[in-house]
Amino acid sequence: MLSNRRLLLAVTALAPALWGTTYLTTTALLPPDRPLLAATLRALPAGLLLLLICRRLPVGAWWWKSWLLGVLNIGAFFALLFVAAYRLPGGVAAIVGGLQPLVIALLASRVLHERLTKRVLVAGATGVLGVALIVLQAQARLDPFGLLAAVGGTVAMACGIVLAKKWGQPAPPLTTTAWQLVTGGLTLLAVLLIVEGLPTEPLTATNLAGYAYLSVVGTAFAYVVWFRGLARLPAGTTAFLGLLSPVVAILLGWGLAGEVLGVWQVLGIVVVLASIAAAVGRPRASACRGGHLPHATDVPPRARRYGGRTRSAGEPVPRLDRRERAGNTHAT
């Protein structure tokens, strides 16, 4: 069972690792100053591809649920993410994004009734510190609109993740991911036509290769893996895996783009990895006695037989008079 959980965590971690390649792909392969075009071409083709594979549409209430989840997890998140990236230094935007595990853990404790432990809170704060060590620069300046966009994107996806966990999945992850990507992509397309408009210059082969990678690998595959893990793991646990994105981004910049990796950045990577390990690791048995009420899904204690009826653990043993004790003695 433990090995299955570790395998599920490892597979789910592929999603944020792939998202960590977005920055290098965008700067190296995509045309500049087209954030909404990049967001639309990342989401909509991926959703249509998955929809072509699954060939299934939402039913009943899942039409509006899919649209809302698509707007929160894809449409609003992608749009606000690119706005923040263009108006804020990358380090500031990454730190705001690093707050997402804490936001999700807090929302999950209220909406999903998941345990909010000191370990999760400390791991979340440590993760933000690690991201800051990796990406923050002393000369970073704050743009109020960009900061608002970064916070909005973080909160939007956090709400989308918690709602997706609360509502469950009426179909396999591939199908529900297709619904969200299509609805989110169509929303982005409408915003693109209003704000940016269609590109006036033809896209190059390099641009098309970049869009294809982001759409098929960085979005279609990554989001199927992500929502599959979200369906089987607590939302608070899944959220901490997202801290892998800045780690992968900085390592790719060092390995492929010739960027310098300093001592503070290495320390930040270690801190982030430690916070992820602390958050996703199973608590010890003693930690479960720390004042938490049992969940409805917890396995009840084994019942025992007393006096011909079943008694649950914790229920006091009924006192027997002399005659009943004698009868039980003879029965044995």
Each residue's pLDDT tens digit in the chain (332 positions)?
557 888 999 999 999 999 888 888 888 899 888 889 999 999 999 999 999 999 999 999 999 999 999 999 999 998 888 777 777 765 666 777 788 888 898 999 999 888 888 888 898 889 888 888 877 665 556 678 888 888 898 899 999 999 999 999 899 999 999 999 999 999 999 999 999 999 888 999 999 999 999 999 999 999 999 999 988 888 888 889 988 988 888 888 888 877 777 888 889 889 999 999 988 876 554 344 433 333 333 344 444 444 444 444 444 545 544 444 444 444 44
Neighbours of 34 (CB within 10 A): 18
The one-letter code for the residue type at 17 is A
DSSP 295: P
Separation in Å, CA 104 to CA 92, 141, 280, 288, 314: 19, 27, 14, 21, 35
* Alpha helices per DSSP H over the chain: 2-19, 22-29, 35-54, 62-70, 77-87, 90-98, 100-111, 118-135, 144-167, 173-195, 205-212, 222-232, 235-240, 244-256, 263-280, 322-331
pLDDT score recorded for residue 137: 63
Which two structure tokens, joined as six digits, stand for 73? Answer: 């997890």
- Is the four-CA dihedral 57, 225, 251, 282 of positive or negative sign? positive
Quote the longest CA-to-CA distance of the chain: 98
pLDDT at 37: 92
- The answer to whether residues 39 and 220 touch, using CB atoms and an 8 Å cutoff, is no
Question: Residue 306: beta bridge partners?
Answer: 309
Q: What is the pLDDT of residue 308?
A: 45
| Residue pair 225/33 in contact by the 8 Å Cβ criterion | no
Round to whole Å and give the CA distance between 119 and 38: 38
